[in-house]
Amino acid sequence: MPEGRGLVLIVEDERAIADLERLYLSDAGFGVHIERDGQSGLAAARKLHPMAIVLDVGLPLMDGIEVCRALRESGDWTPVIFVTARDDEVDRIIGLELGADDYLTKPFSPRELVVRLKNVLRRHDGQAISPVLTLGRLVLYPERRRLEVDGAPVSLTPTEFNLLSKLMSAPDRVFTREMLLSSVWGQVDYAGGRTVDVHVAQLRAKLADASPIVTFRGTGYAVTVPQ
């Protein structure tokens, strides 16, 4: 399968499911390439540069979560839709924490996959180029998903990065926990306000004395401009 716009990579070891996904995606106008195991899927993602990946979680040789983690750690943010037979909230959270864009549990309608894929691509196409954000000793590069402190890179999880980016987008503005849950996690009741508190604590630990995050007790968080 040659490289090109419209190519969707399917990584699925169940032949019948992969063929059904291929049929519906092809009918919707997408080019499709299929791999049957995680290692081959990762190699194909790096070689073909697809516009999106439909990634089964339970793959031989290398599972889908490992494949997604390897892509994200190498700076590859190709949209990923996880497909799994495991209807477990922990699995969903792990997938989304790694930067997956959507999640489908088997059995699902192939028509729903097409709709979900189009929605994911629409969101990515509509994203404006974000400016570099600078605050004190921190420099955040949204497009490169990179944070530097005093010129040195600091490794963040996708959720930590999104949370810090949201706070740094409006210095001195106080964001309530509900606002952060909605904008970073996508829903207010994701796991309650405690989820925000835990991620803020993780950010502060990684940023150490360079952290600009301030707690507003009973309200939420903000980043402050150094005086």
Q: Identify whether residues 46 and 138 lie together within a single domain.
A: no
Question: Does residue 118 share a domain with residue 28?
Answer: yes
* 143 and 169, same domain (yes or no): yes
**Interacting residues of 178 by C-beta distance below 8 A, sequence separation 6+:** 188, 193
Write out pLDDT tens, residues 74-91: 878 888 999 888 766 556
pTM: 0.57
Task: Scan for tokens 């990946």, then name that residue.
Answer: 53
Containing structural domain, residue 141: 133-223
In single-letter form, the type of residue at position 212 comes to: P
Asked if 20 and 118 sit in the same domain, the reply is yes
Q: Is the pLDDT of residue 187 over 50?
A: yes
What b-and-e string marks burial along 163-174, b requiring 16 or more CB atoms within 10 Å of the CB? bbbbbbbebeee
Instruction: Report the percentage of the chain scoring pLDDT > 90.
Output: 44
Q: How many domains does the chain have?
A: 2
Cα–Cα distances in Å, from 79 out to 6, 173, 211, 212? 13, 31, 30, 31
Task: Output 197 or 122, whichever has higher pLDDT.
Answer: 197
Same domain, 81 and 141: no
What tokens were used for 54? 């439909």
Using CA atoms, how far apart are residues 75 and 79, in angstroms rounded to an integer?
Answer: 12
**In the chain, how many H helices and how many E strands?**
8, 12
101 shares a domain with 19:
yes
CATH number, domain of 160, equals 1.10.10.10
Return the CATH number at 113. Answer: 3.40.50.2300
206-215 average pLDDT score: 95
The answer to whether position 1 is within a domain reads no
Whether 23 has a pLDDT exceeding 50, the answer reads yes
Environment class of 129 (CB within 10 Å of its CB; exposed 0-12, middle 13-18, buried 19+): exposed
